Structure 1
Amino acid sequence: MRLVPSPEQAGFAATLHDMLSAAGVPAVADSWADGDYAPGRRLWSRLADLGVTALAIPARRGGLEATPADLVIAAEELGHHAVPGPAAETLAAVPTLLAALGAATLDAGRLLPALAAGQALATLAAPPWLPFAADACAADLVLLADRDTVGPARIGAAHSSMDRTRRLYEVSPAGPMDSCPAVDRALDLGALVCSAQLLGAGRALLEASVEHARTRVQFGRPIGSFQAVQQRLADVAVGLEFARPLVHAAAVTLSTRDLSAAKVACSDAAGRAARAALQVHGAIGYTQEHGLGRWLTKVRVLSLSWGTPAEHRARVMAELTKEAGWN
């Protein structure tokens, strides 16, 4: 089992990082938060040019049919740069659902190539894990999944989110619900992508904290020279490095236990990075002008999406109990 990226995957990550670093993502995110989705759609189109949106789509439907490990690589960079939009839904969950259906069902034969080409965004509600559809107002396809069925959804009332770039919408069935055997797999892949996004966001917070600790002077010394700050940031780095192999292992095994363990570990590690970043930055970290909040709020929201840590811990316990034959 390979728990580190291959040289090809590392190159893919570097290419994504360079593109996103030069793409002005903060301005794109601000526009998205204000309801102007055009810059965000252009950014997603550029991601499609690099193959990101085609990773989970079968080759016969215009995709790359890549491995879940490749999805993890892409999702971590999306989290690292706080790219707005329904990433887990568009990259993994919805393509998985559509690929399991006939080409005529939900017009999957047209929608999958459109998703692969970056011409469409998709979102999903799947109670109780996903009671609302994220960014449904910006999506070309909104689905509702219920146990082993899936169907088109009608957008209802909107709800604000801690993350300014993420709006949540109530949805209701807009047509017949079709039987789909891939609902559980779609939700698991969505949780995997969400875990990788958390890992990337935690890494961005650590990098920002280290840079601030190097340049912020207090009592005549950079605050990074103080042992308490060093230990705090070292704990964050250790947490992220321990979470990383769990994500890559889950991408290989796709087992319930491993996927849930990865989600818990990434939620905890990214949450620790967020708390440390606020402590290191001080009051300036709370200001919208500084920009740290792009990751702080995203970490909080993603940790509660695609299953809360408590729900995933319960899944891990249930799987361990089953394996031990205690039930």
Structure 2
Amino acid sequence: MKFVLSEEQQLLAGALNEIIESAGGTKVARTWAEGNTGPGLALWNQLAELGLFGLCVAEDDGGTGGTAVDLAVAFERLGYHAVPGPYIESAALLPGLVDSSVLAGILDGTLVATAAVPGLVPYGLDAAASSRCFILGSTSLSEAAAGPGTASVDRTRTLSELTAVGEPAPLEPGQSALAVDHATLACSAMLLGAGERLLEEAVSYAKMREQFGRAIGEYQALKHQLADVRIALTFARPLMNGAALDLGGPDGARSVSAAKVAAGDAATLAARVALQVHGAIGYTEEHDLGLWITRVRALLGVWGTPRHHRSRIASLLLSPASPSAELSPC
């Protein structure tokens, strides 16, 4: 199967690049990390006008009627630019779960929402900047109150414990699991986007930095490392696209887990190699490289750790209900 983005999806990616870069690019993440959420929320409203928060919402409900592939395209751009904020929660997780009044606020950008999912996402992201907080269980969605914020390894992410308040709203069977798979797909796309940016930064620096009279990118050992990253990212992309196409179907859960594992592994390799290429300057707070390195580390552990998703793939493959269950492990 050949995955090719449609003209509309390419235009969406281009529009996101243009809006984020005109808003300041990585400066938005830096000011957010310093506690100034103004530029980040201004960008939030711009992306809401573009229709980002309606990608998983039918046109009859005020959304764009987009597909999971559109969602993956958008979130890869968010990861590429290290955009801060609870986008996964507001755009991927909650639109299919909340009532119409909350949904309307999410779609027009006036409501910033975050959520915790016990077992997968123990803390609410950026609760202080969010209008509403929720806790998602397997069969219900509860409004929540946020505790004090705690620093993450990623300075742009502030984590808060959420406590349920009021009566939980019941959900239909499978509704919670599908929403979590949407969020996991979005997280995978952000990892892939961050990995692509790390590779781009590494290649650019390797062409510029000279050692012993030659650009370090001319050395064969470094070329091999960068090529390994390119291969890992390229192999992860069809898994992510396949997961987007499978989402909601019988193979959706397995495909989403495979995408999260592959994107996480590729982004981690990209972070390690990019840091090795940059050397000591890559460790400094002043260099933007740390924005993506710490983002990759943070996203690797939420929406299911690599161990969680590998176990999930194994259990689905070996399940009697799985169409692949009769395949020999040899």
Smaller-chain TM-score bracket: over 0.9
Cα offset for 1:187? 0.7
- Give the 5 Å matches for 1:68-83: 68-83=68-83
User: Is structure 2 residue 141 aligned with structure 1 residue 150?
Assistant: yes
- Give the 5 Å matches for 1:20-169: 20-98=20-98, 108-169=99-160
Q: Distance between the aligned counterparts of 2:100 and 2:3, measured in 1? A: 35
Q: Distance between the aligned counterparts of 1:88 and 1:128, measured in 2? A: 17
User: Is structure 2 residue 184 aligned with structure 1 residue 187?
Assistant: no
Q: One-letter code of the match for 1:286?
A: Y
Cα offset for 1:277? 0.4
Q: Distance between the aligned counterparts of 2:65 and 2:130, measured in 1? A: 23
Q: Distance between the aligned counterparts of 1:258 and 1:56, measured in 2? A: 18
Between 127-136 and 26-35, the greater mean CA deviation after superposition: 26-35
For structure 1, the 5+ residue unaligned runs are: 99-107
Cα offset for 1:22? 2.3
Query: After TM superposition, what 4+ stretches of structure 1 lie above 3 angstroms from structure 2?
Result: none
Identity of aligned residues (%): 45
> Which residue in 1 is equivalent to 2:225?
232
| Matched positions, count | 317
Provide the secondary structure at the position in 2 that maps to 1:315: helix
User: Is structure 2 residue 316 aligned with structure 1 residue 316?
Assistant: no
> Which residue in 2 is equivalent to 1:102?
none
For structure 2, the 5+ residue unaligned runs are: none
Give the TM-score normalised by the residue count of structure 1.
Answer: 0.94
Cα offset for 1:38? 1.5
> Which residue in 2 is equivalent to 1:245?
238
* Contact kept? 1:2, 1:248, Cα under 8 Å: no
User: RMSD across aligned C-alpha pairs, in angstroms?
Assistant: 1.3
Q: Distance between the aligned counterparts of 1:4 and 1:245, measured in 2? A: 10
Q: One-letter code of the match for 2:111?
A: A
* Contact kept? 1:57, 1:112, Cα under 8 Å: no
Provide the secondary structure at the position in 1 that maps to 2:144: strand
Q: Distance between the aligned counterparts of 2:137 and 2:148, measured in 1? A: 19
Cα offset for 1:34? 2.0
Provide the secondary structure at the position in 2 that maps to 1:147: coil
Between 311-320 and 179-188, the greater mean CA deviation after superposition: 179-188
* Contact kept? 2:128, 2:149, Cα under 8 Å: no
* Contact kept? 1:124, 1:145, Cα under 8 Å: yes
* Contact kept? 1:150, 1:177, Cα under 8 Å: yes
Give the TM-score normalised by the residue count of structure 2.
Answer: 0.93
Q: Deviations over 1:56-91 (max 9, x none)?
A: 123233211211110001000000000000111111
Q: One-letter code of the match for 2:224?
A: Q
Cα offset for 1:21? 2.1
Q: One-letter code of the match for 1:16?
A: L
Q: One-letter code of the match for 2:60?
A: R
Q: One-letter code of the match for 1:39?
A: P
Cα offset for 1:325? 5.2
Between 119-128 and 195-204, the greater mean CA deviation after superposition: 119-128
Provide the secondary structure at the position in 1 that maps to 2:142: strand
User: Is structure 2 residue 19 aligned with structure 1 residue 19?
Assistant: yes
Between 110-119 and 245-254, the greater mean CA deviation after superposition: 110-119
Cα offset for 1:202? 0.2
* Contact kept? 1:96, 1:186, Cα under 8 Å: yes
